A and B are shown apart, each in its own frame.
Chain A
Amino acid sequence: MYVCLWSPAWSTGGGSSADGGGLGESGVDGSALALVDQAPRLRVGEEVIWADGRGLDAEALAGRLQSRLAASGVVARAGVAAVPIVAELAARWGTPPDRAEGSPSQGPAGGGDGASFLVKERTGWGWRRGGAVPVSSGSSEAVLVVERGGEGEWLSRLPIQALSPDPRLAALFEGVGLGTVGLLAALEREAVEVRLGADAVSLWRLARGDDRRRLFLPVPPERPHGSIDFVDYVLTDPARLVFTANALLGPLCDRLAGRGEHARTLRLALPLADGAEWERTIRPARPTASRDAWLRLIRGTLERLTVPDAVSGMRLEVVSTEPASVRQGDLFDRGFATASAVEAAVVRLADRQVVPLVPEKTSHPLIERRAEWSADLGPDQSRGRGRPIHGGSERSSEVGTGSAGLTTAGLVLQLLSEPRPILMETVARRDHEAPSRLRDRSGWQEVVMAAGPDRISGGRWEEEPYAREYFRCLTEQGVPLWVYRDGRDGGWYLHGWWD
C-alpha cells in the first residue's frame, strides 16, 4: 500500500505551515525531512509526500506520519491505497460524494471534512484549487484508506476535475457531459482516443485505476562480500591464504547462485601488518559463480603474490555481476545439450591461458603475416567475431561452398612459426639457382622436383624488409616442402610443408 500525504500549506507553495511555525524548511521538502525517521522509504512529489507502506501496516504508518507533521505544525491529510493515483486523490480530495454529480459546477467534496477542506473555483473552462482550509488533525477522515478491490468504485464517484485535466480536455469533458471519473472510465479506450485525443487516454487509464508510475524502484541488493581479520597472528604463507580464500568463497558463491547471478569481477584485498592494503581485481574468462573457478584464479593470483609485509586479513568483494543467462535451446542443434559443458571446459582452458583462436586475415605479401590469431570466447566477445559455442549446424551452409579451408579434403600448407635454416645445394637454372639437395634434421635428401621461384619482396616501410625466393620442392621421400632463399643473407630456410 502507498501512503500519500497532502497539506494545503504545500499546495500554496508557502512555508511549512500556515501559521509560520514548523521546521524552518521550505514547504514539502522540509516536511519530508521531518519524516525520514518514520518511514523506510519516502519520496517527495508534486505538493505531496509519498511513503512506501508495502509490507507494513500502512494505516498506522500514515497515522505516525501525520502525528509527526502535526507536531511540526503541519496539518496534512493522508490517503492509503494500493494504487498510487487512488492514494493521491484520497489525500487531495478526501471522501467523494455518495452520489456522482455530473456537473463540475458542483463542489468536489460532498460533505464532511472534505467539503470544508477544498474550495473549487471555476476559471473559464478549467478548474483550479484554491482557498485551502486546513483540516483538523483529529478529523476522522485525516487518514482515508481505500481497500484493495474498491479502488474503481471509489474513483468513480470523484468529479472529473480530480484528474486535473488540462483546459482543453476539461472543456471537452464538459461538452460531452463527462462529469465524473466513473463516466470516463466506463468508456472504451478507442472511443476516448478517437473522440478526445491521445492525451485523454492517460486520464482514462488513471480513471480506471491504472497508474503506471513507479514511485519506489526496487532496492538493488547488496553485493556479496566476505572478510576475515587475523587478530592474533599474521600470515606469510600463500597456501594458508588460499585456504582462507576458499572459506570465504563458499558463502559468497552460494549467495551468487541463490540470486541467479554470475560474478564478472571480484576484488581481493589483503590488509597488511603495516597498515597498508594490497588489492587486486580478478576477472575470469567468463562470468561465473563457480567456487572452483574463482578459487583457481585466486590461487594463481596468490602464488604470484609479492607484498612488503605479512598479511593480517582478507577481504573478498564481488564488484560486478550479471544475470546467469541460459541460451535458448534449438531442437535441431545436436550440440546444444552439451553446450554448457563445453563452455565450462573452454572457460577452464581460458583460465590456463589456452583459448580458442580465430584468424584475422590480411592481404600481407608474407603468408605468416597474412593472419593474426585472436581469442574467440563466444558470441559476446571480440567485436562480434565470436561464434556460438554450441554445434555448428547454423553455419553448416558455409561448408561446402567451394572456398578455401575446410570445404574440401585438400592438402594445405603447414607453416612453421619460425622458418628453420637448412643447408641447400643448388643447380643453375636460367636466371636463378634451383634446389637440388637439402639437409634438414633428418639428413640429406634429394630434391627430385623444384617449382619456382616465387619472388616476394618488400617491407621497406616496415621494421624489417624482406626479399625471398620461394620454391615448392618434392623430396625423394615424396614430401612436398616449401623452402625459400633469403635474398638478404643468401641462406636457405624451410618454411613449411603440405599435409
Chain B
Amino acid sequence: MAALPAEVLELRAQLERRFPDAQPVRAGTTGAVATGLGALDAALPAGGLPRGRVTLWRPGGGATAVLRSASAGVVRGGERAAWVDGAGLVAGAYWDMPGGLLLFRPRSSEAAGCAEELLRSGGFALVVLSSCGVLSDGEGVRLGRGAREGGSALVVVAGGAPLSHLRARSSFDVSGFQWCRGPFGEPVSLEAVAVRVKLQSMGLSRGVRLRLPVEHHDVRLSLEPRLVDRRGVVR
C-alpha cells in the first residue's frame, strides 16, 4: 500500500490530539482484553475488547458466554474483572468465581453508578455491566470517562448506550444447533450452538461465527410430579 502523504499523516495526528475520543478503536486504545475465542479476537480491533473504551453489546444470544470467557482470561492473566448484574440474572449454580472476579448485583437503577465506581478505581481490566436498563446520557458520559481514566474495558450489555466506541450484536444461528436426541428421536438436550457476532465501529464492520457449547446443570428429576423428591434435603 502506498504511503500516505505527509500532510495527511500530520492532519491525522492533529485530529487524534484534538479529538482523542473520536479515533477509531484500533488507533487510540492502549490495549485490549482478549475474549479467549480465537475467531472473535481476530475480528476484534487490537485483538480484543478495547481497554479504556466502552463496548456496547446488544444481547441476542451468546453475549454472556463470550464475556464470561473474557473475564476468565483476565483473571487467568492475574488482573481483575468485575461483573455488575443489574437484573440478578446470574445463576448461582453456574457461578464458579476464581479470585479476582467480583460479582455485584445492585438494583438496576444503581448498576451504572456501581460500574462507574469500579471503573474509576483503575483496578479492573474488564468491567461488564449487564441488565442496567436504559442508560441516560449523563450515565453514558460518566461511564465512558470512567473507562478512559481507569483504563478498563467496559462492556455494556444492553439494547443501547449513548456513547460506545465498539458495537457488537450477537444472535443464534439455529442451523448450527447441535441437539442430543433420545431413543424416540426427540431432542433431549442442546449440546452446542452457533452464534453470529456482528462488530461495528468507525472504519470497522465485521462478522464472525462462533460455535459455543451449552452448559447444563444437574437436573434432579422425579418420575412424575406426584412423587416426592427428597434428594438434597438436609434431614
Using CB atoms, name the residue of chain B closest to A432: B224
- Residues B96 and A394 in contact, CB atoms below 8 Å apart: no
Q: Which residues on A sit within 8 Å (CB–CB) of B99?
A: 387-388, 391-392, 394-395
The stretch from B2-10, B44-52, B67-75, B201-209 touching chain A is: B67-75
- Number of B residues with CB within 8 Å of any CB on chain A: 84
Q: Which residues on B sit within 8 Å (CB–CB) of A372?
A: 92
Q: Which residues on A sit within 8 Å (CB–CB) of B18?
A: none
Q: Which residues on A sit within 8 Å (CB–CB) of B89?
A: 414-417, 496
- Residues B114 and A349 in contact, CB atoms below 8 Å apart: yes
The reply to whether the CB of A190 lies closer than 8 angstroms to some CB of chain B is no
- Number of A residues with CB within 8 Å of any CB on chain B: 85
CB within 8 Å: A-B pair count: 266
- Residues A411 and B193 in contact, CB atoms below 8 Å apart: yes
Using CB atoms, name the residue of chain A closest to B82: A356
The reply to whether the CB of B54 lies closer than 8 angstroms to some CB of chain A is no
Q: Which residues on A sit within 8 Å (CB–CB) of B71?
A: 406
Using CB atoms, name the residue of chain B closest to A470: B219
Using CB atoms, name the residue of chain B closest to A418: B88
In the assembled complex, the Cα of A196 lies from the Cα of B214 at a distance in Å of: 76
Which DSSP category, helix, strand, loop or mixed, fits chain A's interface? Answer: mixed
Q: Which residues on B sit within 8 Å (CB–CB) of A455?
A: 221-225
The reply to whether the CB of A479 lies closer than 8 angstroms to some CB of chain B is yes
Binary per-residue interface labels of chain A (19-52) against chain B in the complex, 1 for a CB within 8 Å, 0 otherwise? 0000000000000000000000000000000000
In the assembled complex, the Cα of A388 lies from the Cα of B101 at a distance in Å of: 10
Partner of A392, one of B76, B220, B224: B76
- Residues B217 and A413 in contact, CB atoms below 8 Å apart: yes
Q: Which residues on A sit within 8 Å (CB–CB) of B232?
A: 362-365
8 Å CB interface, A443-471 against B = 448-451, 454-458, 460-461, 467-470
A417-B88 contact in complex given A367-B93, A387-B99, C-beta closer than 8 Å: yes
The reply to whether the CB of B91 lies closer than 8 angstroms to some CB of chain A is yes
Partner of B36, one of A348, A359, A362, A409: A409
Q: List 22 A-B residue pairs with CB atoms under 8 Å apart, sorted by A's residue number.
A: A352-B113, A356-B103, A357-B105, A359-B95, A365-B231, A372-B92, A392-B74, A392-B78, A392-B101, A394-B99, A404-B94, A407-B96, A408-B215, A411-B62, A412-B68, A449-B179, A457-B224, A468-B225, A469-B225, A478-B174, A478-B177, A499-B63
B interface residues with partner A (beta carbon < 8 Å):
35-37, 59, 61-66, 68-69, 71-72, 74-80, 87-106, 110, 113-114, 117-118, 120-124, 171-174, 177, 179, 186-190, 193, 212-217, 219-233
